[in-house]
Amino acid sequence: MKFTHACSRPRSPYMARTLLATALMLATSAQATCPTVVDETKFTTAADLRQMMSTIVGFGELRSAGSEGGEKTIDWLASELRKIPGMTVRTEAFELPRWQPTTLNPKGPGRTLELAGGVDVTSAGRVQKVAIGGAIPFSLPTGTAGQSGELVYLAEGTAITPENSRGKIIVREVPKASLPFIGLALLAYHITPDLYANLFSPFERPFLGTDGPLAEELIVAGQAGAAGYISVFNVPRAQIRGYYDPHWGTHLKLPAVYVGVDEGEALKKLAAAGATANVSVLAERDVATTRNLFATLPGGSAERVVLNTNSDGIGWVQENGTVGLLTLAKYFASLPQQCRPRTIEFTFGSGHTHMSHEGNHAIAKKLDSEYDGGSVAFAMVLEHLGTKELLPYSRWPLPGKTLKFSGQAEPAIWATATPPLATATVEAVKRRQVGRTTVARGIDIPNFSHVPAVCGFGGIGGYFNSFMVPVVSTISGPWSLWAPSYGESAVDFERMRKQLLVAGDVILASGKYSRTAIAGNYLKYREQRAAGAAGCTSLLQLAPDEAP
């Protein structure tokens, strides 16, 4: 008897059609299992977000670019990313002219600004020490000897000149600066109703004064030959302990420190009485190496979505986007590859605390050079997540204000100039019920003398926008941004989690759009730039390594 193996039997047309239908059904079923929004039951918990951020803060309260704490952060992130299946991890090293305090934090690892400076005042033959909030980053290291001179108070608005400053110790309030909140409404796609009451009030936060006006005044004071600079906050010293700004990375020509409102009032009286003062900064300058970190998760195509944040920072707020990117990396790696239409690249730039050598700027510039080749779809930037609102309240009969949590979230902005990403972001913000949020085209007043007309996105996202890479970015600017004294109480990790769910939803929604659709007007901007149109000028391009 002759036997025929079942696999060798001829199939009928009916059987072939059945097998084909089954294959199509399985393929369709596999496609149908891909989520269109993030399943939050499979997403990292708020408690886990807090624990990850606690690990990073454990490397030191101050984790500036190239510091031991900053490099430990990069090492830990790289180690965690390598644990994720399918992830390829690499770093790119670069050098910077590092500045860091030489004083150690007695309450934890790493160095501290709080103890890295001093002010001694001599009046009527008597010497008294003045308590400070900390040394101002990148100010001139003097050792304990310091620099001395007549104490002079120059009120805000008074020009700093050689005639009123040479050889003297300047006392001056931190410059006041604000943004008109109503301006966001003119650029907004969507504002959550709980922000309507803010529209006719100015947005006032200290970084608007320290990261710009104060940075320029410190340079001018050095040029004028001042012996030192004492910058006075309008809140108690404890609330600005270790304040880290300006972060331009411009090494100054004079020692400078921060003091609180009470110390500032006393110094103004001493200046009026003809006192002299000595300002010292305990810090060191050298050349250090730091690294940008890249992790790549393959998708259905080589076209990339590039997520970005900074790896160096201070406290619990400044670079908690690292935890955000790590969380999103874990979630998207848990999905089948066919559920990731594009490759996802997670980038962590060092040097944000040293902006003249900003690693995120280098990452954005590289994407600009790659974009026309079709390998980049868009970028997403996450910064300062889950922040709580701190506001100044009267401390009468004492001078100045005191900071208290208002009980609300710090306003956050999602910025993008591309309609598909804006639509996806608005839908996600509504879906996740993330309040106190604006989705807008940016934060600048449009200026049609360059392309794009709106340059600023409020942070790192502005680099990508300036380099004409389609980007959606989120950021907030709370009082705690550069003031680490509030610790973990400055962050609402449930809100942070919601914001990350929004980010994940936007990435998933972007899969239904082509690269060209996502690009929107960026293709036109790039053509106009190629034809000679002026582009945006970033703050980084204006920040020298050394003060002139």
Report the candidate in 507, 93, 150, 455 with the shortest Cα–Cα distance to residue 331.
507
Confidence band for 539, pLDDT divided at 50, 70 and 90: low
Enter the tokens of residue 473: 């970015």
Cα distances (Å, whole numbers) of residue 344 to 139, 364, 465, 504: 40, 15, 19, 12
Which tens digit of pLDDT belongs to each residue from 214-233? 999 999 999 999 999 999 99
Q: Are 415 and 461 in contact (CB under 8 A)?
A: yes
What pLDDT sits at residue 233? 98
What distances in angstroms separate CA 98 from CA 56, 114, 132, 195, 474, one per listed residue? 21, 18, 23, 40, 28
pLDDT of 6 reads 36
CA distance 302 to 342: 6
The pLDDT value recorded for residue 540 is: 55
Average pLDDT, the chain: 93
Contacts of 9 (CB under 8 A, 6+ apart): none
Judge whether 180 and 215 are in contact, CB under 8 Å.
Answer: no
Kindly give, in sequence order, each residue whose CB lies less than 8 Å from that of residue 524, ignoring residues fewer than 6 positions away.
none
Burial class (CB in 10 A: 0-12, 13-18, 19+), 517: middle
Name the nearest CA neighbour of 316 among 46, 58, 115, 47.
58
Structure tokens at 313: 């920072």
CA dist 39 → 321, 419, 432 (Å): 21, 25, 11
* HEC sequence for 50-92: HHHHHHHHCCCCEECCCCHHHHHHHHHHHHHHHCCCCCEEEEE
**Which ranges constitute the DSSP H helices of 133-247?**
162-165, 181-187, 207-209, 215-223
Average pLDDT for residues 532-538, to the nearest whole number? 88
- Return the amino acid letter for 110: G
d(Cα 69, Cα 113) in Å, to the nearest integer? Answer: 14
How sure is the predictor about 466, in pLDDT bands with cuts at 50, 70 and 90?
very high
Question: What is the DSSP-derived secondary structure letter of residue 464?
Answer: H
CATH 3.40.630.10-classified regions of the chain: 36-102+296-390+458-540
Measured distance CA(214)–CA(67) in Å, rounded: 24
CB 395 within 8 A of CB 446: no
Q: What is the pLDDT of residues 498-530, one digit of tens each?
A: 999 999 999 999 999 999 999 999 999 999 999
Using the predicted structure, report yes or no on whether residue 23 has a pLDDT greater than 80: no
Mean pLDDT across 376-393:
98
Strands 62-63 and 313-314: antiparallel
User: What value does the mean pLDDT take over residues 428-433?
Assistant: 98
**pLDDT (0 to 100) of residue 280:** 98
CATH 3.50.30.30 maps onto the chain at: 117-281
Query: Taking the domain 117-281, which CATH number applies?
Result: 3.50.30.30
Mean pLDDT of 467-473: 97
- Spatial distance between the Cα atoms of 526 and 368, rounded to a whole number of angstroms: 10
CA distance 212 to 372: 34
Which pLDDT band holds residue 56 (cuts at 50, 70, 90)?
A: very high
Q: What is the pLDDT of residue 413?
A: 97
Task: Tell the CATH topology of 36-102+296-390+458-540.
Answer: Aminopeptidase (3.40.630)
Contact 73, 61 (CB under 8 A): no
Name the residue with higher pLDDT: 349 or 33. Answer: 349
Model pLDDT, residue 186 = 87
Which one, of 278, 284, 283, 251, lies nearest residue 118 by Cα?
A: 278
Q: What is residue 34's predicted lDDT score, i.e. its pLDDT?
A: 95
Read off the tokens for 197: 């009451």
Q: Which band of pLDDT confidence, cut at 50, 70 and 90, is reported for residue 537?
A: confident
Mean pLDDT of all residues in 185-214: 93
C-alpha 529/C-alpha 48 separation (Å) is 45
Task: Write down how long the chain is.
Answer: 548
Buried b (16+ CB within 10 A) or exposed e, 183-220: ebbebbbbbbeebeebeeeebebbbbbbbbbbbebbbe
Per-residue pLDDT reduced to its tens digit, 333-346 = 999 999 999 999 99
Distances (CA, A) of 339 to 44, 497, 507: 19, 22, 11
3-state secondary structure of 28: helix
Query: Quick one: which of 282, 280, 228 has its CA closest to 253?
Result: 228
Q: ∠ CA 85-88-90 to the nearest 5 degrees?
A: 140
Q: Give the tens place of pLDDT for each residue, 69-97.
A: 999 999 999 999 999 999 999 999 999 99
pLDDT bucket at 301, cuts 50 / 70 / 90: very high
End-to-end CA distance of the chain: 100
* Pair of tokens at residue 352: 């944000």
Query: pTM of the prediction?
Result: 0.93
